[in-house]
Amino acid sequence: MCYERGLSAIHLEEADRIAQIEFIQHTDFVSRKSGIDPFKDRDRAVRDTYDSLDLDMIWATWDPIHPWDLVGKEASDLPISPPKRFFGVPSTARNNQRIAERTDSWSKAFPTTWRTEFNIRSVEDVLDFDPENFWEIPNQQELEEYFREEHTKVQSFYRNQLVPGGKYQTCFMWLIMAFGLELAVKATYRDPKGFEKLLKRFGSLSHMEFKAWAQTEIRAFISHDDICSTSGPFFSPKWLRRNVFPWYERLWSELRSKGIAVLFCSDGNMTTIVDEIAEAGADGFILEECCDLARIAEKYGKSKVIVGGVDIGVLTYGTERDVEEEVKRCIRSSGKYPGYFMNVSGSIPDNVPLGNLEAYFDTCKKYCKRPIGRL
């Protein structure tokens, strides 16, 4: 039923309850819910946890061409075939001394990595960078076969949940992950024309991947690109309309022409640009708690998929009563719309108190049934 419920929400069709998608990286919670030691069998522990919670869809992104493998390599060092990455968390990079692993505050069993130093350290080198000089680019057929095979494998494993396709660095995220946010932003102002050429080099890589995904059997696609902070977009809407949104429209049209729903995801507050994202062709939005969920749902709840809004800060620092009220807040603003997915912003790491996490899922189970009653 979960797969069908998730698909119904993607298609804006009514189901028996509000759909739900979560990215759970809480070691103790996964162990408790699955009965499996995640250090011994992480994948099965996560899958059984999702099944026990009756979740309807999982997070998934595949990035066979990855910025952390692009920067700092000589041509002779390039691998013959691209490495596999999915679920939004890149595997540990080969250059471990340049990676900060935040296992202490994030998750013992599900550590994440983030590059803190970059080989390219000048704006001029950023603007001159050409990924084709650092990577043996797979051809269209190879990408199609890779995406089809990997997605089929993961969908077979998560047999009860809808598994979307996905791209973590849709457009601007390429530059953030390859060069760091500071240099990427500086490059946009130093040489606007040169920056357009740079973005085209990476956008062309994304376009090839989106075209390949369009030939697979996926039903939905998560398109991730961090273009906002908690205070709003990094750049003005005018700049985004000139440089980034045309790429979104071009990339997403490949998928939408095949009936594949595109869900756009960005960190931060995208409230002020959500109209432009909709105009570019997004079929839905994945929102953090800093977005105006009520406003976006009121305008787009009948025509778009809306995911998220539950404040991870409340789960982390609030009481169980606070958690219950946070769930109710999201249901009041968005639960009446068939395309709404309940979701905690970002992911759920180890520092969330177990009692609050249990309260969250108990509250969802209690109040997400349709028709939605008075809260």
The residue ranges of the chain whose pLDDT is under 70 are: 70-105, 114-118
User: Please, what sign has the CA dihedral across residues 22, 28, 33, 37?
Assistant: positive
pLDDT of residue 136: 79
Given this model, what pLDDT does residue 356 score? 98
**Residue-level pLDDT at 68:** 78
Of the candidates 5, 39, 10, 1, which has an alpha carbon nearest to the alpha carbon of residue 286? Answer: 10
CB 79 within 8 A of CB 64: no
Strand partners, 229: 232
Q: What is the pTM of this model?
A: 0.90
What SS3 state is found at 340? strand
The per-residue pLDDT for 94 is 25
- In sequence order, what DSSP letters do the residues of 169-233 get, joined into one string? -SSHHHHHHHH-HHHHHHHHHH-HHHHHHHHHHHHHHHHHHHHHHTTS--SEEEEE---EETTEE
Instruction: Give the pLDDT confidence of 248-269 residue by residue, as tens digits.
Output: 999 999 999 999 999 999 999 9
Packed helices 27-34 and 354-367: angle between N→C axes, nearest 10 degrees: 60
* Adjacent-strand bridge partners of 184: none
User: Can you read off the two tokens belonging to residue 358?
Assistant: 């249990």
The pLDDT of residue 108 is: 92
Q: What is the pLDDT of residue 105?
A: 54
Identify the pLDDT of residue 70: 61
pLDDT in tens, 203-222: 999 999 999 999 999 999 99
Phi and psi angles of residue 307, each rounded to the nearest 5 degrees, phi first: -120, 130
- Domains in the chain, ordered, with CATH? 2-367 (3.20.20.210)
